[in-house]
Amino acid sequence: MTGLEGLVLLRPEWLAALPLVALLAWLAMRGRRALSGWGAVIAPEFLRFLEGRGQVLRPRGLGIALPFAAVAGLAALALTGPATRQHDAPALRNLDVVFLLVDLSRSMTEGGSLDDVKAAAAQLLGEVGTRPVALGLYGSEAYLVSPPTSDPALLAPTLAVLDGETLPGAGSRTDRALALAQEVLGAANAQAGDVIVLTDGAGLGPEATHLARALDAGGTRVSAVYIAPRAAPYGMPGPDRAALLALTEAGGGRLADAEDSAALSRLIRGGGRPAASGAAASLLFADHGRWLLWPALLPALMLFRRRARG
């Protein structure tokens, strides 16, 4: 999400225009004082004579700069497309899906790092913006908890109650989790996506690397969150960050540590931008940008007021 809760920007790239508007306004006001030095050494009558002949142009300065900056700034904000989801919007799931795969093997649940898993997953859910998000859990087998949904808040209660008894059996088959993601995304006709694996990297094998490479070839990036264990459960394989890095390299994604909030944010492709665009966005979201154009009319009128000549 961008800004207030429930409010997203359909075209956040227009925020880049705001510094430019501020710069132009500053230059205009600075130009207003460009003749102040000449005014101290030239008689006012002679200066007006030169202006009358068009040889000196006195900048309009503050009279234009502030109204122009207000109009341009409000227009830029309107073009960002501040929007809220329409309650009667259709469920479009074939867009840019984020698929979270959470490792609940013994090395994760008994290693004292389950709280880190929940915190990292919660942050990722907060970063998805308007993109559909799916959730899967895996140990020796992989299970689909939720197909792609446009409301990530629905997944928060599930994440909150995860523990060592959630899944049966023992083991950590990341390859089966990736196969599940590939199957679900294929069935949803997802155009692109991000698969993010939350694990300590234990037990990774060539099968997982092969599936990550296949997902990347199909337009889905495979990234991972490294969950460092706080203890080493007896008889369990140790964490393997290097293997996890190799997995993300094969999947065209990134590796982030669970404690690195900034790195977690970068895992979500597009920085939270809405996956929907064009006609799809108009179905999913109500764009409120046009309402910002009404207050822009007042400073716009100041740009057309009659100015005294002299």
| 57-97 residue pLDDT tens | 555 545 566 777 888 888 888 888 888 766 655 555 446 88
Measured distance CA(196)–CA(98) in Å, rounded: 7
Measured distance CA(233)–CA(200) in Å, rounded: 13
Looking at the predicted structure, is the pLDDT value of residue 247 above 90?
yes
For 270: left if phi > 0, alpha if psi spans -120 to 50, otherwise beta; the answer is left
Measured distance CA(176)–CA(196) in Å, rounded: 14
The partner residues of 221 in beta bridges, in order of sequence, read 194
Measured distance CA(247)–CA(192) in Å, rounded: 19
Q: In sequence order, what DSSP letters do the residues of 272-294 get, joined into one string?
A: T--S--THHHHHHEEE-GGGGHH
Looking at the predicted structure, is the pLDDT value of residue 275 above 80?
no
| 126-136 residue pLDDT tens | 888 778 899 99
pTM of the model: 0.60
Instruction: Identify which has the larger pLDDT, 116 or 277.
Output: 116
pLDDT at 58: 55
Contacts of 215 (CB under 8 A, 6+ apart): 178, 181, 182, 185, 195, 221, 222, 251
Looking at the predicted structure, is the pLDDT value of residue 250 above 90?
yes
For 63: left if phi > 0, alpha if psi spans -120 to 50, otherwise beta; the answer is alpha
| 19-46 residue pLDDT tens | 888 887 777 666 555 555 555 566 667 6
Instruction: Identify which has the larger pLDDT, 13 or 155.
Output: 155
Measured distance CA(15)–CA(73) in Å, rounded: 9
